Amino acid sequence: MTTDSWLGGAAAIATLTFDVDAESPVLAAGAHYAEHLMTMTHQSYGPDVGVPRVLDMLDELGVPATFFIPGWVAQARPGLAASVVERGHEVAHHSYAHRAPTSMSEQEEREDFARAMAVFARQGIEIQGHRAALWGSRWQTPELVAEHGLRYDSSLMADDRPYRIGTARGELAELPVHWSLDDWEQYAFLPEPHIGSVIESPVKALELWRAELDGMRHYGCLFNLCCHPFLSGRPGRIMALRRLVEYALECGDVTFMRCRDLAAAVLADPALTARPLPEPPSYP
């Protein structure tokens, strides 16, 4: 491994990412949920209580992070994105209305994408990367990301190491995600709309993520953790997340990066070659 590798000499790279969805996933499931007061407060806890608590924790630990914010959320809470950038973290694109591209027409996806870009432009927030709502990318999504001049995407699962995607509108770094590195599967519970059924102990989530981190240190991977402030911002969970970061720091061979900085390293890594996406598979 050379020093110009995306790993930069580390055993694994860690990107802490926070999807600040607020009410948008619930309202995308049904606009009438706006009338459900408890449900709305369940979601507003994320930006209002979780995000400040996460920002403080990151300060205390001295690690950077990336916040994926739907444009609608940034618009409804005008100071939110700036409060993240001011603390040295990155804000990235997470759709406008938190609807999956696979649930929209190509035209709807294009309009939703541009609308979020416009919100951030008005707020003076520079955007370099994108994560699809619900990770629900269509085959055309990466090209759309490149078309807007972004450098990376973080929605796909073809590897557990970053890779490069060639599109007709330019090249992207892909920083892959996975269900097992998402706090939603461990913590989300809401009967209506149904977003999950099991509430795991933070002890279990920590055990799972630490096992994955150790495996990724063995194999030289990207530990791309996806957390949601309305879930991981709660007291017992953020303490577990803090312990996870402390463990990674103690390992001494894990580097924490903002996604944009990792993407730059990936795009500059001479060992990685951009490949165009294959055709969708043909099935009998």
Q: Select 64 or 202, whichever has its Cβ closest to a second copy.
A: 202
CA Rg value for the chain: 18
Q: How far is the CB of 115 from a second copy (least distance, A)?
A: 8
Q: x-or-dash pattern for a second copy, window 78-97, by CB under 8 A?
A: ------------------xx
How many residues bind a second copy, per CB under 8 A? 81
Using CB under 8 A, pick the residue from 61, 85, 87, 102 that binds a second copy.
102
Question: Of 205, 207, 284, 212, whose CA–CA distance to 254 is shortest?
Answer: 212
Categorise residue 53: left if φ over 0, alpha if ψ from -120 to 50, beta otherwise. alpha
Do the strands 12-19 and 254-256 form a parallel or antiparallel pair, or are they unpaired?
Answer: parallel
Stretch that binds a second copy, among 87-95, 117-125, 156-164, 267-275 (CB under 8 A): 156-164
Q: Select 126 or 204, whichever has its Cβ closest to a second copy.
A: 204
| d(C-alpha 261, C-alpha 89), whole Å | 11
Q: How far is the CB of 14 from a second copy (least distance, A)?
A: 13
Stretch that binds a second copy, among 13-21, 59-67, 201-209, 261-269 (CB under 8 A): 201-209
Stretch that binds a second copy, among 116-124, 208-216, 245-253, 263-271 (CB under 8 A): 208-216
Q: Is position 275 an interface residue for a second copy (rule: CB under 8 A)?
A: no
Q: Is position 117 an interface residue for a second copy (rule: CB under 8 A)?
A: no
Q: Is position 113 an interface residue for a second copy (rule: CB under 8 A)?
A: no
Footprint on residues 220-239 left by a second copy (CB under 8 A): 221, 234-239
Footprint on residues 2-61 left by a second copy (CB under 8 A): 23-24, 27-28, 31, 34-38, 40-42, 44-45, 48-49, 53
Enter the tokens of residue 246: 């402390």
Q: How far is CA 169 from CA 144, 155, 175, 184, 276, in A?
A: 8, 18, 18, 33, 11
Q: Is position 281 an interface residue for a second copy (rule: CB under 8 A)?
A: yes
Residue 232, SS3? helix
Do the strands 170-174 and 163-167 form a parallel or antiparallel pair, or are they unpaired?
Answer: antiparallel
Question: Of 87, 94, 103, whose CA–CA distance to 29 is shortest?
Answer: 103
CA pseudo-torsion sign 195, 179, 57, 73: negative
Q: Is position 219 an interface residue for a second copy (rule: CB under 8 A)?
A: yes
Using CB under 8 A, pick the residue from 5, 8, 76, 148 that binds a second copy.
76
Q: How far is the CB of 256 from a second copy (least distance, A)?
A: 18
Q: How far is CA 274 from CA 130, 224, 261, 262, 278, in A?
A: 18, 20, 18, 16, 12
Q: How far is the CB of 221 from a second copy (least distance, A)?
A: 6
| d(C-alpha 137, C-alpha 259), whole Å | 18
Q: Is position 246 an interface residue for a second copy (rule: CB under 8 A)?
A: no
Task: Note whether 71 and 120 are within 8 A (CB).
Answer: yes
Helix (H) or strand (E) holding 146: helix 141-147
Footprint on residues 169-188 left by a second copy (CB under 8 A): 176, 178-180, 185-187
Using CB under 8 A, pick the residue from 6, 18, 68, 72 that binds a second copy.
72
Residue 139, SS3? coil
Footprint on residues 255-274 left by a second copy (CB under 8 A): none
- Compute the half-sphere exposure of residue 185: CA atoms within 13 Å on the CB side of its CA: 13
